Chain A
Amino acid sequence: MTVSSSSPRGDMLMMLGMIVAIVFGPIILAPFGAGYPDLMQKFAIYGIFAIGFNILFGLTGYLSFGHAAFLGVGSYSAVWMFKLLSMNVIPALILAILISGLFALVIGFITLRRSGIYFAILTLAFAQMSYNLAYSVLTPITNGETGLQLLLDDPRILDAPLASGDLPLANLFGLQMNSTYETSFLGMTLYFNAGYYLCGVILLVAFYFAMRIFRSPLGMMLKAIKSNQNRLNYTGVNTRPYTLTAFVISGIYAGLAGGLLACTDPLAGAERMQWTASGEVVLMTILGGAGTLLGPIIGAGAIKYFENIFSAFNESELNAVFSFLPDGLREAVVSVASTFVGEGWQLTLGVLFMLIVIFLPGGLLEGVRRILSLFNRPPGGGMEERSARVKSAA
């Protein structure tokens, strides 16, 4: 997909598709066992995180291994806003954006002096530093290992005093994030949850903004950085402000995602900043298709879905699945398979990731395109396509 080949009509269709997918999300996802609020919120939130990461990695090729730091910063900022100002999500999200953007500006300014592997290591070091600081020096802000939580005696200066002894809930001008309308449809329970729709609307805005960047001169310059930064320097472009812009934008996306995590579940812990969380967004982006618009959302959805499916499996369920096998064999199969599920679901993720990178380097989106091209091939066009491929390989 090149910048110049995009058409306004194609973009509008993609946007409409996103709107439909988000509005009817609870109905679309229910048959897959993924239609409950908690998971749907995660799809949207990690979709935002991955879209933002893709603006840096997919466009400029700068691989950051520390983006979870911004996610964590966003969460802490949001929870502090809940504690000090109001349980309304708007100020919380605004602060999450501001603080993570500022944090990204500082870290980007330092780390972008290097590129390639050195940049990756520097960002990783910064994220681990933030993680350790959250557990040590910054405990007054982060509340250390317990994590930052809401307390009954928090000031919340804009909110009315609590009527009962219960902790307040995050809301959007009174609409509580956990309020859910349940209904039954074809034997399935559908959950229409306020928190999910908030995340969904923000995902839409985030997606639209990313699309504008992809289609703008800025996006083309960022792609040029990935393609040949040296040439760009000799073309009269100082690349630093461009990479810094991309870094800050992606940091803000991560902070926004962190803020939304806090909106749907008002607590923040340092484990959100751990390097495994940073690695996860790299996996999401590559799994879905780095440098594409939809890829990161697909990747985020796939990983969160599989995490949910595979981590829920346990040995007795496996025994039930393999019950058709003779006893001795079944035990052997179950003992092998059980290492891939439950706590060990990341092993499955690792295998899946390897298969994708080896056989579908363009990610899941490339897989979808290949399947579509099987159906769209014009009659007798096989030869032409092959010769075109030979030409492009030469």
Chain B
Amino acid sequence: MGILNVSSINMHFGGLQALNNVNLDVRQGTVHAIIGPNGAGKSTLLNCFVGRLTPDTGVVDFDGISLIGLKPHEINQAGVSRVFQTPEIFGDLSLLENVMIPAFAKRDGSYRQNLWAPLRGESKIRERAMAALADVKMADKAGMIANTLSRGDKRRLELAMGLVQEPKLLLLDEPTAGMARADTNATIALLKEISATGLTMVIIEHDMHVVFSLAERITVLAQGTVIAEDEPAKIKGHPKVQEAYLGGTHS
């Protein structure tokens, strides 16, 4: 059994069956990609993992606890960090503050901030935040205001915000969407480095170049149903996948 264990998830919006009996098993220390055409239910599935949506039926077990019914902050404290499709950052704060905030959240839980200890005395938190920024090669921009970054840099910042919490599972929602090729390649290299540390990652991605560069296992969704789950090499040749997603044209 893997670190994230999803079974028999059903979810519908009105008359639309968004997820239909979805099963997923993410193994510890792997990069697991979820792919599928637009509207396949990828983001809905991800939202079920982080507490944004509650599935109608089914089980989401993470590291021995059920995530169903937990609030987003509780799921994060259980060890799941998420990087959003559109960068969700603290736009008017500095990069350093952006990364210090999740570091505090991790250390102090939901509410144990010391009112009187001045921020500048928190050297350990600051060091950890700087190290996380260095991990995504942004240490030199620590003092900049986050909103002034390019879209690609905002993504990397969000990645640092996830990494500083040392999560057990990192969820990435289209980490390279809207990026230029050079940025995409830099992100792939970065994610490979992170993956080498043994962190488990679930990636939703449209770009097949990214998927096949990173994923050790791929789940294919179409119309809310899992149509295949296998190693990348086998997924490429899977007839159902070619029909539903790659349209038979992707080599």
Contact = CB atoms under 8 A, between A and B. Distances in A.
A228 B50 contact: no
A241 interface: yes
Contacts of A377: none
B96 interface: yes
Nearest to A233: B72
Interface of A is mostly: helix
Contact of B102 (A3, A4, A230, A235): A235
A4 B133 CA distance: 16
Contacts of B231: none
A217 B114 contact: yes
* Interface size class of chain B, counting residues whose CB lies under 8 Å from the partner chain: 35 or more
Contacts of A215: 118-120
B148 A220 contact: no
Interface string B157-169: 0000100010000
A233 B102 CA distance: 10
B110 A238 contact: yes
A216 B118 contact: yes
Interface residues of A, number: 35
B110 A237 contact: yes
Given A4-B94, A241-B110, A216 B73 contact: no
B89 A217 contact: no
A223 B94 CA distance: 11
B115 A220 contact: no
A234 B113 contact: no
Contacts of A223: 90, 92-93, 97
Interface in A225-275: 226-228, 230-239, 241-242
B148 A391 contact: yes
B161 A235 contact: yes
A218 interface: yes
B117 interface: yes
Contacts of B13: none
A35 interface: no
Contact of A234 (B82, B97, B116, B118): B82
A8 B48 CA distance: 45
Contact of B120 (A8, A218, A230, A392): A8
Nearest to B52: A234
Interface string A206-228: 00000011011111110110111
A228 B148 contact: no
A2 interface: yes
Q: Which one of A8, A236, A239 has the highest number of Cβ atoms from chain B below 10 Å of its Cβ?
A: A236
Q: Which one of A6, A216, A226 has the highest number of Cβ atoms from chain B below 10 Å of its Cβ?
A: A216
A5 B96 CA distance: 11
B106 interface: yes
Contact of B101 (A220, A226, A230, A241): A220
B220 interface: no
A58 B125 CA distance: 25
A275 B104 CA distance: 38
B92 A227 contact: yes
A212 B116 contact: yes
Q: Which one of A218, A223, A234 has the highest number of Cβ atoms from chain B below 10 Å of its Cβ?
A: A234
Closest 6 A/B residue pairs (Cβ): A236-B76, A238-B110, A227-B90, A236-B105, A241-B111, A231-B88
Given A2-B93, A5-B143, A218-B113, 17 more contacts: A2-B94, A2-B145, A4-B94, A4-B143, A213-B115, A223-B93, A224-B97, A226-B92, A228-B88, A228-B89, A233-B71, A234-B73, A234-B84, A235-B76, A236-B105, A236-B109, A238-B71
Interface of B: 50, 71-73, 76-77, 81-82, 84, 88-94, 96-97, 100-102, 104-106, 108-111, 113-120, 122, 143, 145, 148, 161, 165
